[in-house]
Structure 1
Protein backbone atom coordinates (compact mmCIF):
# COMPACT_ATOMS: atom_id res chain seq x y z
CA UNK A 1 0.00 0.00 0.00
CA UNK A 2 1.41 3.37 -1.04
CA UNK A 3 0.86 5.92 1.72
CA UNK A 4 1.26 8.93 -0.56
CA UNK A 5 -2.19 10.61 -0.67
CA UNK A 6 -3.56 10.80 -4.21
CA UNK A 7 -5.94 13.30 -5.78
CA UNK A 8 -9.21 11.82 -7.00
CA UNK A 9 -10.36 12.55 -10.55
CA UNK A 10 -13.57 14.16 -9.24
CA UNK A 11 -11.96 16.23 -6.49
CA UNK A 12 -12.02 19.59 -8.26
CA UNK A 13 -15.65 19.25 -9.29
CA UNK A 14 -16.64 18.04 -5.81
CA UNK A 15 -15.06 21.10 -4.21
CA UNK A 16 -16.58 23.55 -6.69
CA UNK A 17 -20.04 22.01 -6.26
CA UNK A 18 -19.70 22.26 -2.49
CA UNK A 19 -18.65 25.92 -2.70
CA UNK A 20 -21.52 26.85 -5.02
CA UNK A 21 -24.15 24.90 -3.10
CA UNK A 22 -23.10 26.29 0.27
CA UNK A 23 -23.31 29.85 -0.99
CA UNK A 24 -26.72 29.22 -2.54
CA UNK A 25 -28.09 27.77 0.69
CA UNK A 26 -26.61 30.51 2.88
CA UNK A 27 -28.31 33.52 1.32
CA UNK A 28 -24.98 35.37 1.28
CA UNK A 29 -23.78 37.36 -1.73
CA UNK A 30 -20.37 35.75 -2.13
CA UNK A 31 -17.08 34.89 -0.45
CA UNK A 32 -14.09 36.74 0.98
CA UNK A 33 -10.69 35.31 1.86
CA UNK A 34 -7.26 36.49 2.84
CA UNK A 35 -4.73 36.17 0.02
CA UNK A 36 -1.15 35.70 1.22
CA UNK A 37 0.75 34.96 -1.96
CA UNK A 38 1.09 31.31 -0.94
CA UNK A 39 -0.27 28.14 -2.48
CA UNK A 40 -3.18 27.40 -0.12
CA UNK A 41 -4.92 30.75 -0.44
CA UNK A 42 -4.24 30.82 -4.19
CA UNK A 43 -5.89 27.42 -4.65
CA UNK A 44 -8.92 28.42 -2.58
CA UNK A 45 -9.29 31.72 -4.46
CA UNK A 46 -9.15 29.95 -7.83
CA UNK A 47 -11.71 27.35 -6.72
CA UNK A 48 -14.06 30.07 -5.48
CA UNK A 49 -13.87 31.99 -8.74
CA UNK A 50 -14.42 28.88 -10.84
CA UNK A 51 -17.34 27.83 -8.62
CA UNK A 52 -19.31 31.07 -8.25
CA UNK A 53 -17.69 33.65 -10.54
CA UNK A 54 -15.19 36.44 -9.95
CA UNK A 55 -17.97 38.96 -9.23
CA UNK A 56 -18.85 37.02 -6.07
CA UNK A 57 -15.32 36.81 -4.67
CA UNK A 58 -13.31 39.42 -2.75
CA UNK A 59 -9.76 39.06 -1.47
CA UNK A 60 -8.04 40.96 1.32
CA UNK A 61 -4.29 41.54 1.32
CA UNK A 62 -3.33 42.08 4.96
CA UNK A 63 0.44 42.51 5.33
CA UNK A 64 2.37 43.09 8.54
CA UNK A 65 5.98 44.10 9.11
CA UNK A 66 7.03 40.44 8.74
CA UNK A 67 5.28 39.98 5.39
CA UNK A 68 7.56 39.72 2.38
CA UNK A 69 6.96 42.40 -0.26
CA UNK A 70 7.36 39.72 -2.92
CA UNK A 71 4.46 37.74 -1.46
CA UNK A 72 2.16 40.75 -1.59
CA UNK A 73 3.20 41.46 -5.18
CA UNK A 74 2.44 37.85 -6.11
CA UNK A 75 -0.91 38.02 -4.33
CA UNK A 76 -1.82 41.28 -6.06
CA UNK A 77 -0.89 39.95 -9.50
CA UNK A 78 -2.79 36.70 -8.98
CA UNK A 79 -5.89 38.54 -7.72
CA UNK A 80 -5.80 40.81 -10.76
CA UNK A 81 -5.62 37.77 -13.02
CA UNK A 82 -8.69 36.36 -11.27
CA UNK A 83 -10.46 39.71 -11.75
CA UNK A 84 -11.78 39.77 -8.18
CA UNK A 85 -12.37 42.67 -5.80
CA UNK A 86 -9.13 43.52 -3.96
CA UNK A 87 -8.73 45.38 -0.67
CA UNK A 88 -5.42 46.25 1.03
CA UNK A 89 -5.39 46.50 4.82
CA UNK A 90 -2.12 46.98 6.72
CA UNK A 91 -2.53 45.20 10.06
CA UNK A 92 0.66 46.63 11.61
CA UNK A 93 -1.09 49.66 13.21
CA UNK A 94 -3.72 47.33 14.69
CA UNK A 95 -1.03 45.03 16.05
CA UNK A 96 0.81 48.01 17.52
CA UNK A 97 -2.34 49.20 19.29
CA UNK A 98 -2.80 45.78 20.89
CA UNK A 99 0.80 45.74 22.09
CA UNK A 100 0.45 49.25 23.50
CA UNK A 101 -2.78 48.41 25.30
CA UNK A 102 -1.34 45.20 26.77
CA UNK A 103 1.89 46.93 27.88
CA UNK A 104 3.92 43.76 27.42
CA UNK A 105 6.55 42.60 24.95
CA UNK A 106 5.04 39.71 23.02
CA UNK A 107 7.27 36.83 21.95
CA UNK A 108 7.35 35.77 18.30
CA UNK A 109 4.72 33.07 18.63
CA UNK A 110 2.27 35.20 20.62
CA UNK A 111 2.69 38.10 18.18
CA UNK A 112 2.22 35.76 15.21
CA UNK A 113 -0.96 34.27 16.63
CA UNK A 114 -2.25 37.75 17.39
CA UNK A 115 -1.63 38.77 13.77
CA UNK A 116 -3.64 35.77 12.62
CA UNK A 117 -6.54 36.68 14.91
CA UNK A 118 -6.46 40.30 13.77
CA UNK A 119 -6.77 39.12 10.17
CA UNK A 120 -9.68 36.90 11.19
CA UNK A 121 -11.49 39.84 12.80
CA UNK A 122 -10.98 41.98 9.70
CA UNK A 123 -12.20 39.21 7.39
CA UNK A 124 -15.39 38.67 9.38
CA UNK A 125 -16.04 42.41 9.69
CA UNK A 126 -15.65 42.75 5.92
CA UNK A 127 -17.90 39.72 5.42
CA UNK A 128 -20.58 41.08 7.77
CA UNK A 129 -20.52 44.47 6.09
CA UNK A 130 -20.94 42.99 2.61
CA UNK A 131 -23.07 39.90 3.32
CA UNK A 132 -20.26 37.51 2.42
CA UNK A 133 -18.97 34.22 3.78
CA UNK A 134 -15.38 33.80 4.96
CA UNK A 135 -13.48 31.07 3.11
CA UNK A 136 -10.62 29.62 5.12
CA UNK A 137 -7.42 28.26 3.60
CA UNK A 138 -6.24 25.62 6.09
CA UNK A 139 -5.47 22.16 4.73
CA UNK A 140 -5.84 18.73 6.33
CA UNK A 141 -2.16 18.46 7.29
CA UNK A 142 -2.43 21.72 9.25
CA UNK A 143 -5.75 20.83 10.83
CA UNK A 144 -4.61 17.40 12.05
CA UNK A 145 -1.34 18.69 13.49
CA UNK A 146 -2.85 21.86 14.94
CA UNK A 147 -0.52 23.94 12.80
CA UNK A 148 -2.73 27.00 12.71
CA UNK A 149 -3.97 29.68 15.08
CA UNK A 150 -6.99 28.77 17.18
CA UNK A 151 -9.71 31.34 16.40
CA UNK A 152 -7.34 32.87 13.85
CA UNK A 153 -6.77 31.33 10.43
CA UNK A 154 -8.63 28.30 11.79
CA UNK A 155 -11.85 30.35 11.95
CA UNK A 156 -13.99 30.54 8.82
CA UNK A 157 -17.40 29.68 7.39
CA UNK A 158 -16.02 27.03 5.04
CA UNK A 159 -12.69 25.27 4.54
CA UNK A 160 -12.66 24.20 0.88
CA UNK A 161 -9.31 22.37 1.13
CA UNK A 162 -9.73 21.19 4.72
CA UNK A 163 -9.95 17.54 3.66
CA UNK A 164 -6.87 17.70 1.41
CA UNK A 165 -3.36 17.02 2.66
CA UNK A 166 -0.68 19.57 1.73
CA UNK A 167 0.77 17.24 -0.92
CA UNK A 168 -2.71 16.92 -2.44
CA UNK A 169 -3.06 20.71 -2.46
CA UNK A 170 0.12 20.88 -4.53
CA UNK A 171 -1.33 18.35 -6.98
CA UNK A 172 -4.55 20.36 -7.14
CA UNK A 173 -2.60 23.58 -7.69
CA UNK A 174 -0.98 22.09 -10.76
CA UNK A 175 -4.30 20.78 -12.04
CA UNK A 176 -6.06 24.15 -11.83
CA UNK A 177 -2.98 25.99 -13.13
CA UNK A 178 -1.83 28.06 -10.19
CA UNK A 179 1.31 30.03 -11.18
CA UNK A 180 4.46 27.93 -10.85
CA UNK A 181 6.15 30.63 -8.78
CA UNK A 182 3.47 30.36 -6.11
CA UNK A 183 3.51 26.55 -6.11
CA UNK A 184 7.30 26.50 -5.67
CA UNK A 185 7.36 28.74 -2.58
CA UNK A 186 8.58 27.41 0.76
CA UNK A 187 5.43 27.15 2.93
CA UNK A 188 5.45 29.69 5.76
CA UNK A 189 2.97 31.20 8.18
CA UNK A 190 4.93 34.46 7.99
CA UNK A 191 4.99 34.95 11.76
CA UNK A 192 8.65 36.02 11.65
CA UNK A 193 11.41 36.49 9.10
CA UNK A 194 12.72 33.22 7.70
CA UNK A 195 10.02 31.05 9.25
CA UNK A 196 9.08 27.88 7.39
CA UNK A 197 6.39 25.29 8.11
CA UNK A 198 8.61 22.27 7.64
CA UNK A 199 11.43 23.60 9.81
CA UNK A 200 9.01 24.41 12.61
CA UNK A 201 7.22 21.06 12.31
CA UNK A 202 10.54 19.22 12.06
CA UNK A 203 9.41 17.13 9.12
CA UNK A 204 8.72 17.52 5.40
CA UNK A 205 5.13 17.60 4.20
CA UNK A 206 5.84 14.51 2.08
CA UNK A 207 6.74 12.51 5.19
CA UNK A 208 4.08 14.14 7.36
CA UNK A 209 1.29 13.35 4.93
CA UNK A 210 2.33 9.72 4.62
CA UNK A 211 2.15 9.39 8.40
CA UNK A 212 -1.21 11.14 8.63
CA UNK A 213 -2.62 9.13 5.73
CA UNK A 214 -1.47 5.97 7.46
CA UNK A 215 -3.26 7.03 10.64
CA UNK A 216 -6.37 7.82 8.60
CA UNK A 217 -6.23 4.25 7.31
CA UNK A 218 -6.01 2.90 10.88
CA UNK A 219 -2.39 1.76 10.58
CA UNK A 220 -0.13 1.48 13.61
CA UNK A 221 3.11 3.41 13.99
CA UNK A 222 5.03 0.20 13.32
CA UNK A 223 3.09 -0.46 10.12
CA UNK A 224 3.67 3.09 8.89
CA UNK A 225 7.38 2.74 9.62
CA UNK A 226 7.58 -0.57 7.77
CA UNK A 227 5.71 0.75 4.73
CA UNK A 228 7.46 4.13 4.44
CA UNK A 229 10.87 3.79 6.07
CA UNK A 230 10.22 6.99 8.03
CA UNK A 231 11.99 7.03 11.41
CA UNK A 232 9.88 5.88 14.35
CA UNK A 233 10.83 9.02 16.26
CA UNK A 234 9.18 11.20 13.62
CA UNK A 235 6.09 8.99 13.46
CA UNK A 236 5.70 9.02 17.25
CA UNK A 237 6.16 12.79 17.36
CA UNK A 238 3.44 13.33 14.73
CA UNK A 239 1.03 11.02 16.56
CA UNK A 240 1.67 12.87 19.82
CA UNK A 241 1.11 16.21 18.09
CA UNK A 242 -2.22 15.06 16.62
CA UNK A 243 -3.36 13.87 20.06
CA UNK A 244 -2.09 16.99 21.83
CA UNK A 245 -3.86 19.45 19.51
CA UNK A 246 -7.30 17.79 19.42
CA UNK A 247 -8.82 20.77 21.28
CA UNK A 248 -8.06 23.05 18.31
CA UNK A 249 -10.38 20.99 16.13
CA UNK A 250 -13.39 21.60 18.37
CA UNK A 251 -15.24 24.60 19.73
CA UNK A 252 -14.88 25.47 23.40
CA UNK A 253 -15.01 22.19 25.32
CA UNK A 254 -18.34 21.72 27.12
CA UNK A 255 -18.87 19.49 30.19
CA UNK A 256 -21.79 17.14 29.50
CA UNK A 257 -24.88 17.82 31.61
CA UNK A 258 -27.88 17.57 29.24
CA UNK A 259 -29.21 14.70 27.14
CA UNK A 260 -27.52 15.96 23.98
CA UNK A 261 -24.53 18.30 24.04
CA UNK A 262 -23.38 20.69 21.32
CA UNK A 263 -20.10 19.50 19.86
CA UNK A 264 -20.45 16.07 21.47
CA UNK A 265 -23.60 14.18 20.50
CA UNK A 266 -25.94 16.88 19.17
CA UNK A 267 -26.44 16.21 15.48
CA UNK A 268 -27.39 19.10 13.17
Structure 2
Protein backbone atom coordinates (compact mmCIF):
# COMPACT_ATOMS: atom_id res chain seq x y z
CA UNK A 1 0.00 0.00 0.00
CA UNK A 2 1.25 3.49 -0.83
CA UNK A 3 2.16 5.63 2.22
CA UNK A 4 -0.39 8.37 1.48
CA UNK A 5 -3.02 5.75 0.65
CA UNK A 6 -2.97 4.48 4.23
CA UNK A 7 -3.42 8.02 5.57
CA UNK A 8 -6.34 8.77 3.25
CA UNK A 9 -8.09 5.53 4.20
CA UNK A 10 -7.59 6.28 7.89
CA UNK A 11 -8.75 9.91 7.55
CA UNK A 12 -11.94 8.88 5.76
CA UNK A 13 -12.55 5.76 7.90
CA UNK A 14 -13.11 3.50 4.90
CA UNK A 15 -13.44 -0.22 5.57
CA UNK A 16 -12.05 -2.65 2.96
CA UNK A 17 -15.17 -4.81 3.23
CA UNK A 18 -18.59 -4.06 4.68
CA UNK A 19 -21.68 -6.01 5.57
CA UNK A 20 -24.43 -3.91 3.93
CA UNK A 21 -27.08 -4.84 6.50
CA UNK A 22 -24.79 -3.92 9.39
CA UNK A 23 -23.92 -0.57 7.82
CA UNK A 24 -27.59 0.17 7.15
CA UNK A 25 -28.32 -0.46 10.82
CA UNK A 26 -25.31 1.60 11.86
CA UNK A 27 -26.47 4.62 9.86
CA UNK A 28 -30.10 4.30 10.95
CA UNK A 29 -29.12 4.11 14.63
CA UNK A 30 -26.81 7.09 14.16
CA UNK A 31 -29.66 9.17 12.72
CA UNK A 32 -32.05 8.08 15.46
CA UNK A 33 -29.51 8.79 18.18
CA UNK A 34 -28.96 12.33 16.94
CA UNK A 35 -32.63 13.30 17.10
CA UNK A 36 -33.12 11.58 20.44
CA UNK A 37 -30.27 13.57 21.96
CA UNK A 38 -31.27 16.87 20.33
CA UNK A 39 -34.94 17.24 21.31
CA UNK A 40 -35.20 20.74 19.84
CA UNK A 41 -35.36 19.11 16.39
CA UNK A 42 -38.32 17.20 14.97
CA UNK A 43 -37.34 16.40 11.40
CA UNK A 44 -34.68 15.55 8.88
CA UNK A 45 -34.46 17.56 5.67
CA UNK A 46 -32.75 16.18 2.57
CA UNK A 47 -32.49 17.24 -1.07
CA UNK A 48 -33.47 14.41 -3.41
CA UNK A 49 -31.93 14.52 -6.88
CA UNK A 50 -32.63 11.00 -8.12
CA UNK A 51 -29.01 9.91 -7.76
CA UNK A 52 -27.53 7.07 -5.72
CA UNK A 53 -26.32 9.11 -2.77
CA UNK A 54 -29.43 11.13 -1.96
CA UNK A 55 -31.58 8.05 -2.51
CA UNK A 56 -29.54 6.06 0.01
CA UNK A 57 -29.31 8.83 2.62
CA UNK A 58 -33.01 9.59 2.20
CA UNK A 59 -34.05 5.96 2.66
CA UNK A 60 -31.86 5.56 5.75
CA UNK A 61 -33.44 8.69 7.21
CA UNK A 62 -36.96 7.45 6.49
CA UNK A 63 -36.24 4.15 8.26
CA UNK A 64 -34.89 6.10 11.23
CA UNK A 65 -37.94 8.37 11.34
CA UNK A 66 -40.33 5.41 11.09
CA UNK A 67 -38.59 3.59 13.94
CA UNK A 68 -38.56 6.71 16.11
CA UNK A 69 -42.27 7.30 15.57
CA UNK A 70 -43.01 3.70 16.53
CA UNK A 71 -41.70 4.38 20.03
CA UNK A 72 -42.36 8.10 20.55
CA UNK A 73 -45.30 10.49 20.37
CA UNK A 74 -43.32 13.45 19.04
CA UNK A 75 -44.25 12.92 15.36
CA UNK A 76 -40.86 13.08 13.70
CA UNK A 77 -40.82 13.75 9.95
CA UNK A 78 -38.62 13.32 6.89
CA UNK A 79 -38.92 16.31 4.57
CA UNK A 80 -37.68 15.72 1.03
CA UNK A 81 -36.72 18.79 -0.99
CA UNK A 82 -36.79 18.78 -4.77
CA UNK A 83 -34.48 21.45 -6.20
CA UNK A 84 -34.35 21.48 -9.99
CA UNK A 85 -32.85 24.29 -12.01
CA UNK A 86 -35.77 24.86 -14.36
CA UNK A 87 -36.65 21.49 -15.90
CA UNK A 88 -34.59 18.55 -14.64
CA UNK A 89 -33.48 16.23 -17.45
CA UNK A 90 -33.64 13.10 -15.28
CA UNK A 91 -36.72 14.13 -13.27
CA UNK A 92 -38.12 10.62 -13.70
CA UNK A 93 -35.30 9.32 -11.47
CA UNK A 94 -36.12 11.88 -8.79
CA UNK A 95 -39.74 10.74 -8.85
CA UNK A 96 -38.63 7.11 -8.58
CA UNK A 97 -36.40 7.99 -5.63
CA UNK A 98 -39.27 9.70 -3.82
CA UNK A 99 -41.52 6.70 -4.47
CA UNK A 100 -38.84 4.46 -2.94
CA UNK A 101 -38.06 6.69 0.04
CA UNK A 102 -41.65 7.65 0.89
CA UNK A 103 -40.90 10.92 2.73
CA UNK A 104 -43.53 12.41 5.01
CA UNK A 105 -43.58 15.60 2.98
CA UNK A 106 -42.02 16.87 -0.24
CA UNK A 107 -41.20 20.52 -0.86
CA UNK A 108 -40.08 21.85 -4.25
CA UNK A 109 -37.78 24.88 -4.40
CA UNK A 110 -36.83 25.56 -8.02
CA UNK A 111 -33.52 27.42 -7.96
CA UNK A 112 -33.60 28.88 -11.48
CA UNK A 113 -34.87 32.36 -10.63
CA UNK A 114 -32.56 32.81 -7.63
CA UNK A 115 -29.51 31.51 -9.53
CA UNK A 116 -30.24 33.72 -12.52
CA UNK A 117 -30.83 36.75 -10.29
CA UNK A 118 -27.51 36.23 -8.49
CA UNK A 119 -25.73 35.74 -11.81
CA UNK A 120 -27.19 39.00 -13.12
CA UNK A 121 -26.29 40.88 -9.92
CA UNK A 122 -22.70 39.68 -10.10
CA UNK A 123 -22.40 40.55 -13.79
CA UNK A 124 -23.81 44.01 -13.05
CA UNK A 125 -20.88 44.35 -10.65
CA UNK A 126 -18.47 43.74 -13.51
CA UNK A 127 -17.76 40.03 -12.98
CA UNK A 128 -17.78 37.52 -15.81
CA UNK A 129 -19.57 34.67 -13.96
CA UNK A 130 -18.74 31.86 -16.38
CA UNK A 131 -20.38 28.44 -16.49
CA UNK A 132 -18.13 27.03 -13.77
CA UNK A 133 -19.02 29.93 -11.50
CA UNK A 134 -22.73 29.38 -12.11
CA UNK A 135 -22.13 25.70 -11.31
CA UNK A 136 -20.91 26.83 -7.89
CA UNK A 137 -23.81 29.23 -7.33
CA UNK A 138 -26.48 26.57 -7.91
CA UNK A 139 -25.63 24.31 -4.94
CA UNK A 140 -25.29 27.36 -2.70
CA UNK A 141 -28.80 28.41 -3.64
CA UNK A 142 -29.96 24.90 -2.86
CA UNK A 143 -28.29 25.08 0.54
CA UNK A 144 -30.08 28.36 1.35
CA UNK A 145 -33.43 26.79 0.50
CA UNK A 146 -32.75 23.60 2.46
CA UNK A 147 -31.96 25.56 5.59
CA UNK A 148 -35.07 27.69 5.11
CA UNK A 149 -37.12 24.49 4.94
CA UNK A 150 -35.30 23.11 7.98
CA UNK A 151 -36.09 26.30 9.88
CA UNK A 152 -39.80 25.90 9.13
CA UNK A 153 -39.88 22.27 10.25
CA UNK A 154 -37.43 22.35 13.18
CA UNK A 155 -35.16 20.23 11.04
CA UNK A 156 -31.61 19.04 10.57
CA UNK A 157 -30.14 19.04 7.05
CA UNK A 158 -28.77 15.70 5.88
CA UNK A 159 -25.74 15.63 3.61
CA UNK A 160 -24.85 12.93 1.09
CA UNK A 161 -21.07 13.24 1.18
CA UNK A 162 -19.15 9.95 1.24
CA UNK A 163 -15.54 8.84 1.02
CA UNK A 164 -15.43 8.50 -2.77
CA UNK A 165 -16.30 12.19 -3.04
CA UNK A 166 -14.82 13.56 0.18
CA UNK A 167 -11.27 12.48 -0.75
CA UNK A 168 -11.38 14.97 -3.64
CA UNK A 169 -13.53 17.66 -2.05
CA UNK A 170 -16.00 16.80 -4.81
CA UNK A 171 -18.69 19.04 -3.39
CA UNK A 172 -19.33 22.75 -3.25
CA UNK A 173 -18.09 24.40 -0.08
CA UNK A 174 -21.09 25.96 1.66
CA UNK A 175 -23.29 24.41 -1.00
CA UNK A 176 -23.99 20.68 -0.92
CA UNK A 177 -21.07 20.52 1.50
CA UNK A 178 -22.97 22.75 3.95
CA UNK A 179 -24.97 20.25 6.00
CA UNK A 180 -25.57 19.20 9.60
CA UNK A 181 -25.19 15.42 9.53
CA UNK A 182 -23.61 13.00 7.03
CA UNK A 183 -24.78 9.39 7.49
CA UNK A 184 -22.81 8.11 4.44
CA UNK A 185 -19.42 9.33 5.64
CA UNK A 186 -16.97 6.37 5.58
CA UNK A 187 -18.55 4.60 2.55
CA UNK A 188 -17.18 4.44 -0.95
CA UNK A 189 -19.36 4.39 -4.05
CA UNK A 190 -19.71 0.61 -4.45
CA UNK A 191 -20.49 0.15 -0.76
CA UNK A 192 -23.36 2.63 -1.04
CA UNK A 193 -24.54 0.75 -4.10
CA UNK A 194 -24.48 -2.53 -2.17
CA UNK A 195 -26.56 -0.96 0.59
CA UNK A 196 -29.18 0.25 -1.88
CA UNK A 197 -29.29 -3.21 -3.43
CA UNK A 198 -29.87 -4.68 0.04
CA UNK A 199 -32.65 -2.13 0.61
CA UNK A 200 -34.23 -3.29 -2.68
CA UNK A 201 -34.04 0.08 -4.38
CA UNK A 202 -34.87 0.28 -8.09
CA UNK A 203 -31.78 -0.69 -10.08
CA UNK A 204 -32.06 2.43 -12.20
CA UNK A 205 -31.22 4.56 -9.18
CA UNK A 206 -27.92 2.91 -8.29
CA UNK A 207 -26.82 1.75 -11.74
CA UNK A 208 -27.16 5.15 -13.43
CA UNK A 209 -24.04 7.14 -14.27
CA UNK A 210 -23.31 9.56 -11.39
CA UNK A 211 -23.43 13.22 -12.35
CA UNK A 212 -23.59 16.52 -10.44
CA UNK A 213 -25.31 18.21 -13.42
CA UNK A 214 -24.20 21.74 -12.50
CA UNK A 215 -22.79 23.15 -15.73
CA UNK A 216 -25.16 24.54 -18.36
CA UNK A 217 -22.59 23.94 -21.12
CA UNK A 218 -22.05 20.32 -20.05
CA UNK A 219 -25.40 18.97 -18.85
CA UNK A 220 -25.26 15.55 -17.17
CA UNK A 221 -21.44 15.62 -17.16
CA UNK A 222 -20.38 12.30 -15.55
CA UNK A 223 -18.58 12.61 -12.23
CA UNK A 224 -15.77 10.39 -13.49
CA UNK A 225 -15.04 12.81 -16.32
CA UNK A 226 -15.02 15.75 -13.92
CA UNK A 227 -12.75 13.91 -11.48
CA UNK A 228 -10.43 12.49 -14.13
CA UNK A 229 -10.45 9.02 -12.57
CA UNK A 230 -13.02 6.22 -12.42
CA UNK A 231 -15.03 5.32 -9.32
CA UNK A 232 -13.78 1.74 -9.67
CA UNK A 233 -10.21 2.94 -9.22
CA UNK A 234 -11.24 5.31 -6.42
CA UNK A 235 -13.10 2.54 -4.59
CA UNK A 236 -10.22 0.09 -5.03
CA UNK A 237 -7.77 2.69 -3.73
CA UNK A 238 -9.94 3.45 -0.69
CA UNK A 239 -10.23 -0.28 0.04
CA UNK A 240 -6.45 -0.58 0.19
CA UNK A 241 -6.04 -2.34 -3.14
CA UNK A 242 -3.36 -1.71 -5.73
CA UNK A 243 -4.40 0.51 -8.62
CA UNK A 244 -2.37 1.78 -11.58
CA UNK A 245 0.18 4.46 -10.68
CA UNK A 246 -1.49 7.08 -12.89
CA UNK A 247 -4.81 6.61 -11.10
CA UNK A 248 -3.15 6.60 -7.67
CA UNK A 249 -1.27 9.79 -8.45
CA UNK A 250 -4.49 11.49 -9.61
CA UNK A 251 -6.38 10.42 -6.48
CA UNK A 252 -3.57 11.66 -4.22
CA UNK A 253 -3.27 14.95 -6.09
CA UNK A 254 -7.02 15.54 -5.69
CA UNK A 255 -6.82 14.70 -1.99
CA UNK A 256 -3.92 17.05 -1.28
CA UNK A 257 -5.29 20.02 -3.21
CA UNK A 258 -8.78 19.75 -1.64
CA UNK A 259 -7.72 19.60 2.02
CA UNK A 260 -9.30 22.98 2.80
CA UNK A 261 -12.74 21.67 1.80
CA UNK A 262 -12.63 18.95 4.45
CA UNK A 263 -11.64 21.40 7.19
CA UNK A 264 -13.43 24.03 9.22
CA UNK A 265 -12.38 27.65 8.54
CA UNK A 266 -8.69 27.99 9.34
CA UNK A 267 -7.57 29.79 12.50
CA UNK A 268 -4.14 30.78 13.74
CA UNK A 269 -4.06 27.56 15.81
CA UNK A 270 -4.34 25.26 12.80
CA UNK A 271 -1.16 23.61 11.56
CA UNK A 272 -2.48 21.02 9.09
CA UNK A 273 -1.60 23.14 6.03
CA UNK A 274 1.99 23.98 7.00
**TMscore range, shorter length:** 0.7 to 0.9
- Give the alignment's TM-score, normalised by structure 2: 0.83
The gaps in structure 1 that reach 5 residues or longer are: 215-223
Greater than 6 Å deviation, 4+ residue runs: none
Measured against aligned partners, the alpha-carbon deviations of 1:115-142 in whole angstroms (never above 9, x if no partner) come to: 0111011101110121000001111111
CA distance in 2, matches of 1:179, 1:10: 21
Per-residue deviation, 1:194: 3.2
Per-residue deviation, 1:4: 9.0
CA distance in 2, matches of 1:248, 1:128: 25
Per-residue deviation, 1:212: 2.6
The gaps in structure 2 that reach 5 residues or longer are: 2-13, 70-75
Is 2:186 aligned against 1:175? Answer: no
Q: Which moved more, 1:73-82 or 1:166-175?
A: 73-82
CA distance in 1, matches of 2:87, 2:93: 16
Aligned length: 243
Correspondence for 2:10: none
- Between 1 and 2, higher relative CO (CA 8 Å, sep ≥ 6) is seen in 2
Correspondence for 1:79: 98
Paired residue for 2:28, among 9, 16, 35? 16
Paired residue for 1:89, among 89, 103, 109? 109
Tell me: CA distance 1:210–1:66, structure 2 relative to 1, closer, same or farther (3 Å). farther
Is 2:216 aligned against 1:203? Answer: no
Matches within 5 A, 1:103-122: 103=123, 104-122=127-145
CA distance in 2, matches of 1:83, 1:237: 38
CA distance in 1, matches of 2:58, 2:212: 18
Correspondence for 1:146: 169
Correspondence for 1:218: none
Contact 2:157–2:180 (8 Å) recurs in 1: yes
Q: Which moved more, 1:73-82 or 1:202-211?
A: 73-82
Paired residue for 1:58, among 79, 99, 110? 79
CA distance in 1, matches of 2:43, 2:146: 13
Q: Which moved more, 1:161-170 or 1:204-213?
A: 204-213
Correspondence for 1:128: 151
